[in-house]
Amino acid sequence: MMKDIVSRIFISADAGARAVGSDSVARAVVDEAGRRGIAPALVRTGSRGLYWLEPLVEVETSAGRVGYGPVLAEDVPGLFMAGFLEGRSHPKSLGLVEKIPFLASQHRITFARCGVIDPLSFADYRAHGGLRGLERARALGPAATVEEVARSGLRGRGGAGFPTGIKWRTAAGASGERKFIVCNADEGDSGTYSDRMIMEGDPFALIEGMVIAGFAVGARQGYVYVRSEYPQAIATLTGAVEIARAEGLLGAIQGFDIEVRVGAGAYVCGEETSLLESLEGKRGEVRAKPPLPALKGLFGCPTVINNLITLASVPPILADGADGYAAFGFGRSRGTIPIQLAGNIRFGGLYEAPFGVTLGALVEEIGGGTVSGRPIRAVQVGGPLGAYFPPVLFDTPFDYESFAGRAGLIGHGGVVVFDDTVDMARQARFAMEFCAHESCGKCTPCRIGSRRGMDVIDRILAGIEPAKNLALLRELCETMRLGSLCALGGFTPYPVESALDHFGEDFAATPPRHEVAA
Amino acid sequence: MRDQMGEVPERVRERIGAIARAHEGAEGPALNVLRAVQEEFGHVPRETVPVIAEALNITRAELHGVLSFYHDLRQDPPGRHVLRLCRAEACQAMGAASLAEAALRRHGLAWGETSTDGALSVEPAYCLGLCSCSPSALFDDEPVGRLDAASLDRLVSRARAS
């Protein structure tokens, strides 16, 4: 064994990994190596998205990267003693990371590099396939780049599922002195964190995607609107933008550059027109559509506004061709989607797979059921505006149309699992409360309807004219759904009505059977 | 309006002018400027609203509209530490609601308020993107996951001791 050749060690610096102690593990590794007279080659990566195994420590061996996890700082001396630098066995051994079933069964396209590379190493980015997409786009030319994206079948990963190619085509065809590319990184849906993972784990992928979009539609300026709840993502992305300028990825093609802008805690700013208002420095009030942002968006100019995952999926689509991407998927949902398993789930993490995997497979097989060990009672898919699904609907394939067909939505791909202690009337009330808290106030169904919704649910639970009030709640949901200006008021009925439809027994006036004593 | 009429010290006026000038090149800078003012002073003091509005060449009403819209922007100084506890669904699924209520009760704290010793402000957050490590929080921008009663108590004690 040669002492001077030390394997590289990889520990995530992603916020999710740091939240469970990856920094102290990294410090312990450096300290212990120092005590042993070894200079460690420690690389802080993004996260692989195997969060139940974080803090995850990986070591490079001739066979591949070997993992240990979840590692505590106090495990570190033992890892050295066991010979983890040579990939040897230890009670926390996971074997080859790529062979961990949760990872091995995925098709990572958008997340291929996340957790693998140093997020701020431009050399790493290039060495792992970065910039190939941009090179191909430049060889194709702007118009053919738009058509390639259209042919891939890529649809908006923020939740609306609008075909990206059509949006780009509209903006490309619009006349205007100035055009903008806006990345929506206001990832507010509970149960979602894929945007954050890319910003912290592979930010150049987003930057490259925006450069390609700017090239394709003729824009010279891009904005990334990041929510303030993501301080680390903001820092990493800002660092990456500076590096990209120095490396000539930004500022070179039509002068296209990017500015990172930070939100201020308003959920509604994830709605595209509200986000544009906020970028203009105004109250984040929703705009009526039309005009479409593609024609009249930021500062009144033609604007492509895409979700972060949509933009980060563009470079691999260009690099490897639209047909390969479109070959994955199910029905009209083509390609892969990064699904985020969250809440009360044993194997919580990021699962990128072609559309079509069933909800049951996701939460029971891949996710391993609840972490509490109790039966799953409800799964909320698509964030706070998504429906609650009971186990009888676990055969629903994960794609835009199948979820819409069952009065739900996939949204940004968040899957939040609840066990049988959940009180679904309380969840329904929370949906209304959240809508009231976050409403921009512009339209009445959302602003007033959500407050009335809370009152009506309170009355039902207090046993006041329950039949009449249940009918009123249904009517109110219909008004909000049909009459709201945007998805906040328009989709809040999804969690409420699904709770009524599938868990009606929780709306009885008596305390629900599973109420846990305070 | 009375509280907006307070005197603004020259030093504060100068800093606000400098912040506004630093954002001169940016389009639609109001939110950025308000964020920068808050970063500098910990909050956006009420009496500075006319000064900021003037520096941005917008009306006080417009600026107040922006200031009052965003949950992050505050007009009162926060505690020395800020704990943002997630109250959204993924954390609810892991018992965040009862965990938070119990901790707040135990320490005599309330949502959106600062402890009487000025050590800690507790604010609700609706998702921190740490949903596979629920219940979660940000303590002075540092992420904390898999919270339980003991670790939450430790955070509160840490805040109060420093």
My answer on whether omega of the bond before A466 falls inside 30° of 0, hence cis, is no
* b (16+ CB within 10 A) / e for A167-192: bbbbbbebebeebbbbbbbbbbbbbb
Q: How far apart are CA A245 and CA B3, in angstroms?
A: 45
DSSP A511: P
Q: Which stretch of DSSP H or E encloses residue B156?
A: helix B149-161
Residues in B touching A19 (Cβ below 8 Å): 130, 133, 136, 143-146
Contact A416 B90 (CB under 8 A): yes
| Contact (CB, 8 A) for A384 and A270 | no
Residue B145 is nearest to which of A19, A281, A345, comparing CB atoms? A19
Q: How far apart are CA A120 and CA A130, in angstroms?
A: 13
The encoded tokens of residue A217 equal 């539609």
Q: How far apart are CA B71 and CA A68, in angstroms?
A: 40
Hey, what's the torsion of the CAs at A128, A129, A131, A136, to 10 degrees? 170
Mean pLDDT within A253-278: 97
The encoded tokens of residue B41 equal 């002073």
Nearest chain A residue (CA) to B86: A190
- Confidence (pLDDT) at A254: 92
Banded model confidence at residue B3, pLDDT cuts 50, 70, 90: very low
Residues in A touching B29 (Cβ below 8 Å): 281
Tens digit of each residue's pLDDT (9 = 90 or more) over A319-334: 999 999 999 999 999 9
Distance from CA of A8 to the nearest CA of B (A): 26
Tens digit of each residue's pLDDT (9 = 90 or more) over A366-413: 999 999 999 999 999 999 999 999 999 999 999 999 999 999 999 999
DSSP A127: H
Contact B130 A19 (CB under 8 A): yes
CATH 3.40.30.10 residue ranges in chain A?
A: 8-104
Residues in A touching B133 (Cβ below 8 Å): 16, 19-20, 51, 54, 348
Compute the mean pLDDT over every residue in chain B, rounded to the nearest whole number. 94
Residue B129 is nearest to which of A18, A229, A341, comparing CB atoms? A229
Q: Provide the 10 A C-beta neighbour count for residue A269.
A: 30
Banded model confidence at residue A4, pLDDT cuts 50, 70, 90: low
Residue B4 predicted with pLDDT over 50: no
| Contact (CB, 8 A) for A54 and B133 | yes
| Contact (CB, 8 A) for A225 and A279 | yes
Contact B146 A19 (CB under 8 A): yes
Q: How far apart are CA A349 and CA A101, in angstroms?
A: 13
Q: Can you tell me the ipTM of this complex?
A: 0.95
Q: How far apart are CA A492 and CA A485, in angstroms?
A: 12
| Contact (CB, 8 A) for A331 and A373 | no
Mean pLDDT within B59-85: 96
Contact B90 A349 (CB under 8 A): no
Please name the amino acid found at residue A451. R
Q: How far apart are CA A272 and CA A378, in angstroms?
A: 29
Distance from CA of A108 to the nearest CA of B (A): 19
Q: How far apart are CA A199 and CA A204, in angstroms?
A: 8
Tens digit of each residue's pLDDT (9 = 90 or more) over A216-231: 999 999 999 999 999 9
Cα–Cα–Cα angle for A292, A307, A489, rounded to 5 degrees: 65
The encoded tokens of residue A61 equal 């061996």
Distance from CA of B116 to the nearest CA of A (A): 25
Residues of chain A above pLDDT 90, percent: 96
Pairing of strands B81-86, B137-139: antiparallel
- Confidence (pLDDT) at B127: 97
Q: How far apart are CA A377 and CA A392, in angstroms?
A: 10
Contact B132 A193 (CB under 8 A): yes
Mean pLDDT within B49-54: 95
Banded model confidence at residue A341, pLDDT cuts 50, 70, 90: very high
- Confidence (pLDDT) at B2: 44
The encoded tokens of residue A85 equal 């630098």
Compute the mean pLDDT over every residue in chain A, rounded to the nearest whole number. 96
| Contact (CB, 8 A) for A288 and A187 | no
The encoded tokens of residue B139 equal 């303590």
Banded model confidence at residue B7, pLDDT cuts 50, 70, 90: confident
Mean pLDDT within A424-433: 98
Nearest chain B residue (CA) to A231: B141
Domain A424-507 falls under CATH 1.20.1440.230: yes
- Confidence (pLDDT) at A40: 79
- Confidence (pLDDT) at B26: 87
Task: Look at the block and give the residue holding tokens 């799953």.
Answer: A376
Residue B129 predicted with pLDDT over 50: yes
Residues in B touching A299 (Cβ below 8 Å): 27-28
Q: What's domain A122-326's architecture? A: 3-Layer(aba) Sandwich (3.40)
CATH 3.40.50.11540 residue ranges in chain A?
A: 122-326
Domain A8-104 falls under CATH 1.10.8.100: no
Q: Please write down the HEC assignment for all residues of A373-425.
A: CCCEEEEEECHHHCCEECHHHCCCECCHHHHHHCCCCCCCCEEEEEECCCCHH
Mean pLDDT within A407-427: 98
Helices (H), A193-300: 194-201, 203-217, 231-246, 272-279
Tens digit of each residue's pLDDT (9 = 90 or more) over A185-194: 999 999 999 9
Banded model confidence at residue A511, pLDDT cuts 50, 70, 90: low
Q: Classify residue A150 by burial, with Cβ atoms within 10 Å: 0-12, 13-18, 19+.
A: middle
The encoded tokens of residue B50 equal 């006319």
Residue A513 predicted with pLDDT over 60: no
- A284 Cβ contact list (under 8 Å, min separation 6): A266, A268, A269, A274, A275, A277, A278, A440, B69, B70
CATH 1.20.1440.230 residue ranges in chain A?
A: 424-507
Banded model confidence at residue A486, pLDDT cuts 50, 70, 90: very high
SS3 of A280, please? coil
- Confidence (pLDDT) at B1: 42
Residues in A touching B151 (Cβ below 8 Å): none
Contact A430 B92 (CB under 8 A): yes
CA A452 to chain centre: 31
Residue A5 predicted with pLDDT over 70: no
Fold of the A329-419 domain: Ubiquitin-like (UB roll) (3.10.20)
Contact B130 A15 (CB under 8 A): yes
Residues of chain A above pLDDT 70, percent: 97
